[in-house]
Structure formats: structure tokens, C-alpha cells
Structure 1
Amino acid sequence: MIRHQTPAWVYFGGLTLATIAGTINSVGFLGQHHQALSHMTGTVTVLGYELARAGYGVALHALAILTAFFLGCLVSGALIRQSSLRLGRRYGVALSVESVLLLAAVYFLRRGANVGDYLAAAACGLQNAMVSTYSGSTMRTTHITGMVTDLGIACGHFLRRAEVDWFRFRIYGVLLLGYFAGAVLGGIGYGQWGYDTLLFPAVLSGVTGVGYTAIKHYERRRHAHAKHPAGP
């Protein structure tokens, strides 16, 4: 069996990000346009069939969401520049930008402006592109199709007593749990507070980003002091 020594922060970070995405997508489906925001498969489907039946207004909205998601990925790639998850990358900055995008999305969604959907989709794109792989496993925190597929494959391997990558099984299970929990929170929150529910993932991503940046800054200063201690 394949085993990995995985630090706790990988599981905690994955759970947090998946919960954020699940909440955003739940609010997107319950909102004015009933539109997925954290993954683009359904959005491309909507774009296709609305064009086929000359629903150009809805098709344009779907295209704008797709474009916003892409631009979020672009910003993430420009900020982080690496595809493998490693401590020390600029994840804090990316999460802080995501928080700002979600706060702006709440502002516009309260006023019925479509740009709120686009900002939320951009936040999801940015988050999804933050982490591409870890320890050889593909990781996506804003949709679960691939994870459910890999979990099914792992269970099939287990049943026929083949080698199982238990790290992948555990991390995908955590991400699936987080996304589901976020969807539940989004559904409950939207019924109580409407679009203000997005303040929860906005604050969570912002606190995580600022906290991560502060910790990395402290560690850099500590290492610098250890290498060059002050004189008497």
C-alpha cells in the first residue's frame, strides 16, 4: 500500500478551502440566476444550450462567469507561479485577494448587479488554481467530480486487493467533506441572510490569508535572526 507522511496543515487547508467553495456555490445556485460559480462544467452547458435556443442574455451571463473564473485562475498563476503545493509560496496574498473579491461580490449582489456573480466566480477561479498538485495527486478545491471518481477507483482497487494510495483517499475524503459542509452552510445561511452569507467565506479566506502571511513573515525574521544574531 502507498503511504505518505502528510502534515496536518495540508488537511486543514484543504478542508477550509473546500468549505469556502461549497458555500459560494450553494449561494450561487440559490441566488437570482441559480448559477454554479465554483465549477464551470454546468456553466459551459448553460452557454451551449442557451445559444442553441437563442437565449442570448443568459448565454452572455454564462460566458461572463466563465471568463471571470478564467481571469481568477490567471491572477493566481501570476501570484503563485508554481503548480505544486509548498509552504512559502504566496498563498497568503492570493487568499487575501480572494477575500476582497468576495466582499465586493456581496456589495454588488445586495444591489442585484450581475457583476457580483462574476466577482464570486473570479474568487473561485483564483482559489482553484492555487493548488494544482500535492505529492503527485491532483487537487482541486472548488469541484468534486474528479475526487469522487478517484475515490471510487480507490475503493475498487481495495476490493480486488490491489495497491491503494491512502493519502489520496484521505485527502479527497477531507475535501469532499469540506465541500459538502460548505454547501450545507450556504443553504442554511442563504435562507437566513441571503447574499450576506458570502461574508463567511470572505472572512474565512481573509483571516486565513492574513494569518498565513503573518506566520511566514515571522518565520523569515526568526531565521534571519538565527543566521545573523545581534551583537552584545
Structure 2
Amino acid sequence: MLRQPKEKRTLNQNLMLASSTAFVAGIIDVVGVLAFLAFTSNITGHVANLAKNIVQQDFDSILVFGLWLFMFLFGAFVSNFIVKSLQHISYYRAHSAPIVLEILVLIFIAFYGNNFYKESTQERQIVIGALLFAMGLQNSLVSNVSGGLIKSTHLTGLFTDLGSELADWIHPRTRKTEEVKNKIYVRLTILVFFIFGGFAGGYFFNIYEFKVFYFVPVILLSILYYDLLPLAWYRITRLFITEKRTFSKNL
């Protein structure tokens, strides 16, 4: 899912990346609402709240919403900066590094939430900022990897693009291309898995509370493992063949 640059990606690779990251985003968004009473991927809503508080001159809230917006922006910045810095070495390393950073952030939140979280306003604001940073990392990465096709947390843009592409597909004067059909598949996959992730996040949070955040890194690790599996299998096969030849020569 991460080894290929955007120019060489297949539909299956994009579908797997879209489903896994949208599932993660759905879990985190709903758990964020249940645990902290705030969306962790709804940047439009935070901008609206920032504008409202500016009008009301609520300077404490202006600072909070401004910080939250900055954390999402900073996550996107860090993700793209890492990719640009490492892609000349390896696309896999460049694309996996932001996911590793996201995993570390989520593990910290899980550990802190299970052991130290006292539900204070300041703690809530800091944890929401950390989650927005993680979502900024993820959204920027998948957009970068897929050439802008996948945005796992940006459902407003998804509905806009999906509506336009469905119009292209249905309109009698439009040539129905494979590219348009594939884009529709990807958009629908993001939508379905985001909803499914939200349902799973809400259900399991009611049972396990902050322990849900330990489960999310497992999904992200599966994305990293998917690309390592063929390489590991290749090396194991090479090692087996080499040892077999050595054994035959000794005979």
C-alpha cells in the first residue's frame, strides 16, 4: 500500500489504503466525540466555532480553536516534510514514517487516557490537539501517496467529488472511462469504512473506553506489514534456496 508512488498505484492498492485509513479515521472521530465532546477531523466545524468566538470576543476559546486548527495543519506539514525528505531514499520509508509517528501519538493517548486522564478541561484540550495532529499526519500522507485521490478524514470534499463523478458517469454526453469508475469505487469505500469505523469506535468505547486507542495502532501496523510481507517472503525464499544449494554441495 505504501511502496508505490502515486503514478504507479493500482486500484486494489488504493482501495486497501482507503478502507484501512478511513476505518481508523471513523474510529478516532467518534471516540473523540464520546470521550472529549469534540470532532477530531471536522476542521470546517472548528473554523466555524473559531469565527463565532471571534465575534463573541471569547479569547480563551479563540486560543483553543486556533491551537486545534494549527495542530491539524502542523500534522499535515510534518507528514509532507517527512515524505519529501525521505522519498529519495525509499518510497516505503518516506510513506511509513508518518504512520509510525501517528502510532506513537495514539499509543501515548491510550496510555495517558487509561492511567492519568482526570477529565479536566485543559487535559481534554491537549488530547484533542494531539488527535488532530495525528489526523493531520494521516490525511496528508494518504493524499500524498494517492495523488489527492484519498482523503480519509475529509468527508465534505468526498461528497463533493463523489457527486461530480456520479454525474460524469450517469450523464449521457460523458464518456464512461475506467478512471471515473475507479474513483467512484474509492470514494464509496472511504465512506463505507468511515461509517463502519465510527460504529465500531462507538460500540467498543462503551465497553473498553480508552483501551480502544490501543486497537487503532494495530490497524496502522497492518498497513506497514502489508508492504513488508512480500519482501520478507522473498528473503526467506532466497535463504531457503541458498541453504538448499549449500546442503547439496556438501553431499
Provide TM-score, normalisation by structure 1. 0.80
Aligned counterpart for 2:32 among listed residues 20, 28, 40: 28
**Number of the residue aligned with 2:150:** 139
Q: Percent identity?
A: 22
Aligned counterpart for 1:80 among listed residues 62, 76, 83: 83
**Number of the residue aligned with 2:130:** 119
Q: Deviations over 1:180-230 (max 9, x none)?
A: 111111211222222332222222213433x156448648979xx8xxx9x
1:56 aligns with 2:59: yes
Which consecutive unaligned segments of at least 5 residues does structure 1 have? none
Deviation at 1:124, TM superposition (A): 0.4
Deviation at 1:121, TM superposition (A): 1.0
3-state DSSP of counterpart to 1:138: coil
CA distance in 2, matches of 1:150, 1:207: 28
Which consecutive unaligned segments of at least 5 residues does structure 2 have? 1-7, 247-251
- Decide whether aligned partners of structure 1 residues 76 and 150 sit closer, same or farther in structure 2, where only a CA change above 3 A counts: same
3-state DSSP of counterpart to 2:92: coil
CA RMSD of aligned residues (A): 3.2
3-state DSSP of counterpart to 1:156: helix
- Identify the structure with the greater helix proportion: 2
- Decide whether aligned partners of structure 1 residues 207 and 28 sit closer, same or farther in structure 2, where only a CA change above 3 A counts: same
With 197-206 and 17-26 compared, the bigger mean Cα shift is at 197-206
Aligned pairs for 1:92-103 within 5 A: 92-103=96-107
Q: Deviations over 1:43-90 (max 9, x none)?
A: 1111111232233333322222212111211221122129x9x96352
- Decide whether aligned partners of structure 1 residues 57 and 191 sit closer, same or farther in structure 2, where only a CA change above 3 A counts: farther
CA distance in 2, matches of 1:172, 1:151: 6
- Decide whether aligned partners of structure 1 residues 5 and 204 sit closer, same or farther in structure 2, where only a CA change above 3 A counts: closer
The residue type paired with residue 15 of structure 2 is Y
1:208 aligns with 2:223: yes
Provide TM-score, normalisation by structure 2. 0.75
Aligned counterpart for 2:42 among listed residues 39, 42, 57: 39
CA distance in 1, matches of 2:28, 2:9: 31
Aligned counterpart for 1:65 among listed residues 63, 68, 89: 68
Q: Deviations over 1:1-48 (max 9, x none)?
A: xxx99342221121000100111111112223x212123111111111
Aligned pairs for 1:184-203 within 5 A: 184-203=199-218
